[in-house]
């Protein structure tokens, strides 16, 4: 009986000492500086047309591909390339891809152009002007 009380007391003491929370965290984990990259518009403010993915550790990365839906129900894949030297927008539909280069960026609006095509991104909407045609697209949750 004394032996079982001694074992139970020892187990309780070890579990209390072993499970003690340390507020400073794990000493063996190396903390890295959080270098969040924020894409700025041409006016120097954060570009609100750009979305970010956040992983389980809270690290941000730029989301680059989206599926947009046209007013007639057609689905269009749009890929943004945020390379600082040359920002582009790739629109793919029916195995055709159009690549437009960024021409202007404001805080809430970014414009991409190439030849007779012009695309304007405002929040979740993308408006493409191709000649006399205007195509309105909205981001989907797919």
Domain boundaries along the sequence of the chain: 52-139
Question: Count of CB atoms within 10 A of residue 78's CB?
Answer: 20
Contact, 45 vs 108, CB < 8 A?
A: no
Per-residue model confidence (pLDDT) at position 35 = 52
CATH architecture of 52-139: Beta Barrel (2.40)
- Is 129 buried (19+), middle (13-18) or exposed (0-12) by CB count in 10 A? middle
> In whole angstroms, what is the distance from residue 102 CA to residue 112 CA?
4
Per-residue model confidence (pLDDT) at position 117 = 93
> In whole angstroms, what is the distance from residue 101 CA to residue 85 CA?
11
pTM score: 0.63
Per-residue model confidence (pLDDT) at position 2 = 62
- Scored b (16 or more CB within 10 A) or e, 109-119 reads ebbbbeeebbb
> In whole angstroms, what is the distance from residue 22 CA to residue 70 CA?
54
Per-residue model confidence (pLDDT) at position 96 = 92
Contact, 89 vs 100, CB < 8 A?
A: yes
Per-residue model confidence (pLDDT) at position 47 = 74
Query: Over its length of 142 residues, how does the chain's per-residue pLDDT go in tens digits?
Result: 666 666 666 655 666 565 555 555 555 555 555 455 677 776 777 777 777 777 888 777 777 889 999 989 999 999 988 877 788 999 999 999 999 999 998 888 999 999 899 999 998 899 999 989 999 999 998 6
């Amino acid at each position: 009986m004394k032996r079982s009380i001694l074992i139970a007391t020892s187990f309780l003491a070890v579990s209390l000492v072993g499970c003690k929370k340390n507020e400073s965290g794990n000493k063996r984990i190396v903390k890295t500086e959080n270098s969040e990259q924020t894409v700025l518009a041409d006016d120097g403010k954060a570009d609100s047309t750009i979305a970010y993915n956040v992983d389980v550790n809270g690290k941000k990365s730029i989301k680059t591909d989206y599926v947009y839906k046209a007013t007639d129900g057609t689905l269009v894949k749009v890929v943004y390339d945020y390379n600082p030297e040359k920002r582009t927008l790739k629109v793919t539909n029916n195995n055709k891809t159009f690549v437009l280069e960024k021409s202007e960026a404001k805080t809430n609006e970014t414009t991409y152009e190439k030849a007779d095509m012009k695309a304007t991104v405002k929040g979740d909407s993308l408006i493409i002007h191709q000649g006399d045609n205007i195509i309105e697209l909205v981001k989907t949750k797919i």
